Amino acid sequence: MEKEDIHTLISKYFDGKCSQEEIVSIYDWCNLSEKNKKEFIQLKTTWVISDKKSEENILSSLPHIWNNIISEISQKAPKMYTRRSLVYYTAITAAASILLIFCLNFFTDNKIWNSHTEYTYFYMARGEKGQLFLPDGTKVWLNSDSKLRLGSDFNARNRAVFLEGEAFFDVAKSDKHSFIVQTNSVDVKVLGTAFKVTAYTGSDDVGVSLQRGSVSIYKRGTEEKLATLVPSQHASIKRKSFLTEIDWFDDEANIAWTFEELIYEHAPFKEVFAKMGNWYGVDISVVLPPSQPDLRYRFKIKSESLTEILELINKMTPIDYKINGKEVIIRYK
């Protein structure tokens, strides 16, 4: 089959206009080689993320536009212990760049695409941060060691995303669909606002911080409301008991990581080292804790290396530290 013909056929398939024989032809073409399968997955990813809805859009991306996407990828994250760089991506660039994308259910039970919702995953490795744009115009800053799941029906039947980790959302307003951030324990629902959700898998709490607008927090998959926030309020929800505490926060410190800063305001030492581990992409272990269990720190990280920050902590509270690749051992004196 000619290249132009298969691209036309794939475009029809994504638009739901293929006959059963044409679907079989696409399946046969995909099974000819791993290269064909990979190309199909790349095209479907582009279609889902960039909200393409016409044959012309898919055709125009092949081969020239797709090649341009690859060649114009933004700078990759710097090596460990160097200056952090917040990397910005458009949705299409994210499909081909450092944001690791996994597309599921492409080839299941001898079918190219099943009738269920398909998902695209955006993943930021430890020590990296990035920005993406969703099809509805919402901007998302994805923090280190965080994953965002986006369904193929996003902006068509819903505006729901699933988060593991930490992300800041600047949500485009829509009267048609609420924007819902789902986590393992709670759902955060809004129409148009800016807020942060922290839901790392290993944490006992889920945090929601509102910068502007209004958000409501519900038990996962229910209409049982746990809290409604106003700007500059932060909610901390226990995953198991759903006990919810609300307090006020400093806007600058709360979202500083989105503009390449990490700010500690009287933060417990365990929180300091946990966030530093994500920031620098290392595992930090405190094998000998301080004599003061309630020890807290107040400082800022911007362009400093890991060693420079450890030396700073050493001046404030004497410690011994050892860096072995991605492992850091801390002992308080």
Q: Provide the pLDDT for residue 131.
A: 84
Q: Please classify residue 97 by burial: count the beta carbons closer than 10 Å to its beta carbon, then call 0-12 exposed, 13-18 middle and 19+ buried.
A: buried
Tokens at 69, concatenated:
């996407």
Which domains, and CATH codes, for the chain? Answer: 3-71 (no CATH), 87-253 (2.60.120.1440), 261-332 (3.55.50.30)
The model's pLDDT over 48-100, given as tens digits with 9 standing for 90+, comes to 554 444 344 444 444 443 344 333 333 333 333 232 333 333 333 333 333 33
The model's pLDDT over 144-153, given as tens digits with 9 standing for 90+, comes to 889 999 888 8
pLDDT over 70 at 170, yes or no: yes
Q: Provide the pLDDT for residue 129.
A: 84
The model's pLDDT over 131-145, given as tens digits with 9 standing for 90+, comes to 888 888 888 999 988
DSSP E strands, the chain = 87-88, 100-103, 119-124, 130-133, 139-142, 146-151, 159-170, 179-182, 186-190, 194-199, 205-212, 215-219, 225-229, 233-238, 244-248, 262-268, 283-288, 296-301, 319-324, 327-332
Q: What percent of the chain clears pLDDT 90, i.e. is strictly above it?
A: 34
The single-letter code of the amino acid at 242 is F
More confident residue, 73 or 9: 9
* Pairing state between β 87-88 and 130-133: parallel
Range scoring the smallest mean pLDDT among 108-117, 255-264, 310-319, 322-331: 108-117
| DSSP secondary structure, 224-288, as one string | -EEEEE-TTEEEEEETTT--EEEEE--HHHHTGGGGT-EEEEEEEHHHHHHHHHHHHT-EEEEEE
Q: Provide the pLDDT for residue 120.
A: 81
Q: Provide the pLDDT for residue 229.
A: 93
